[in-house]
Structure 1
């Protein structure tokens, strides 16, 4: 008896559903109905003789067998996309939705400036930006890519470093004229701090010196904020000192509205990363957006200032 052909459509639906973590969102992404997606998964599970997903009323998750099957299913889907792209490379136009996560302050200040040329170049691409400082789950929440400012942890995500982000202790000249200039971290205990609640060093600030070692201080805080933009006006007005990312204050440093304090004492440097879920082949629309953002954001204007 002839061997049945593999159910390639069901495998493709399984790979997309596992990537997104939702039957309904996978249906939207694929342009299918919810019953079509559910029936394809059920058909595949019946054929295999085991469950690919564990289902609850709130969410789905891969079974152990599902995790084992996913890599090959994803490879099949990626190869199919690659084949179609190569076959139609002279006529294909990137189209569809690309979901992007980015930090709020960085996205508003820098990412927004990249959009006019991106939209003009790719008129059939639709963008969905989620701007907040939360560390999103790219795969579980269905994002195509994320920009993240961090010390990157080990993960299964693919990461590309675009720029260096120094965190600098800064204040206005008028502030230092009134309260004096700190020479080492312990001096900050008598200063007014403006603090970002999302920072790794929220209450205790830790500094390192090339010869004097490490010092920690818990400065008195006058303003707490979960958004670094909120701190800049008070900083420039001389109301305190703050640890600010360089991308937020490099212009004020250049215009002398702010000054770096304790330049020989430093806190850990962060990186601006572009993160994507692991994949052998991305949809063309996602790759075009990635390429555009890499060109636009590599060689950041604050570096070297």
Structure 2
């Protein structure tokens, strides 16, 4: 039994005073309206209407039910209107998970510009380099950097992320500049905890398990600063290492065997029935950085 349809039929019969006029109002047959009301009475185990061949009268239980049914249907209309607005317009709280270093350096400005365009959206930004469970933890969107594995989630590529190998000029002067990735095993390597081997090296380098990871951390800014201070060689995305490279604090090496770029992705749970706030943010952020992001400009 569809309770909402049954309530609508009952309210229409009481309001119109007959099954025939209620049927016209609902654009249904009188037989179906009668069936809905009978199903409601059976479900509630109570008679709501007294029926004769000439008239319909409401019982005491029916009068109580009529008042509550009107309120329930009004609440349903309000709910449908509210959800329709959320679906079709950008409003409400948008919960975003994003990598720490990227968000600190490159996310505040686009989020501010997005809110200027969509002022009814409130941003709840949570920074974390681990892979959050967006459904379990209640996020609308997760921004992720890397090479995405197969997943039930939907991913939209936002920008390429270039990885560069670099060290401070002082370190290279003291320990020499490696001419191939095979020579990295003879140097102090600053390891990013969440990185996988294929993001650090190149196919065929044969260095698995041989790097001297003298320093590891789960934050790229810390590793980059350690490299600036001469602690060793680091592989970092240009959105982190770029400023130090432009200032001459770090020097790029092994550019002929640079790792393949990875990507910045927006990950979300559903392709269909996206809320207005999620759809608007995806459309906005997808074109924001472009195919050559500003952080790759070393001129």
Name the TM-score, length of structure 1 as normaliser.
Answer: 0.64
Alignment of 1:155-194 (within 5 A): 155-194=151-190
Alignment of 1:16-31 (within 5 A): none
- 2:27 aligns with none
Q: Does 1:262 align with 2:254?
A: yes
Instruction: Work out which of the two has the higher radius of gyration on C-alpha atoms and give 1 or 2.
Output: 2
Equivalent of 1:215, from 202, 206, 210? Answer: 206
Alignment of 1:87-126 (within 5 A): 94-126=90-122
- 2:238 aligns with 246
Partner secondary structure for residue 169 of structure 1: strand
Equivalent of 2:294, from 294, 298, 301? Answer: 301
Aligned equivalents of 2:240 and 2:170: distance in 1?
A: 20
More helix by share: 2
- CA-based RMSD of the aligned residues comes to 3.0
Aligned equivalents of 1:81 and 1:273: distance in 2?
A: 32
Distance 1:199 1:103, change over 3 A: same
Alpha carbons 1:138, 1:146 under 8 Å: kept: yes
Aligned equivalents of 2:237 and 2:211: distance in 1?
A: 18
Q: Does 1:84 align with 2:75?
A: no
Alpha carbons 1:162, 1:272 under 8 Å: kept: yes
Alignment of 1:138-153 (within 5 A): 138-153=134-149
List gaps (5 residues or longer) in structure 2: 6-42, 44-79
Q: Provide Cα deviations, 1:244-287, integer angstroms capped at 9, x if missing partner.
A: 11211123223332222222223343111111111312111222
Alpha carbons 2:163, 2:259 under 8 Å: kept: yes
- 1:60 aligns with none
Partner secondary structure for residue 136 of structure 1: coil
Q: Provide Cα deviations, 1:212-269, integer angstroms capped at 9, x if missing partner.
A: x433152323322111111222212322111111211123223332222222223343
- 1:283 aligns with 275
Number of residue equivalences: 223
Aligned equivalents of 1:185 and 1:197: distance in 2?
A: 19
- List structure 1 runs of 4+ shifted beyond 4 angstroms: 80-83
Q: Provide Cα deviations, 1:105-131, integer angstroms capped at 9, x if missing partner.
A: 111111122232223332221111121
Alignment of 1:196-235 (within 5 A): 196-201=192-197, 206-208=201-203, 213-216=204-207, 218-235=210-227
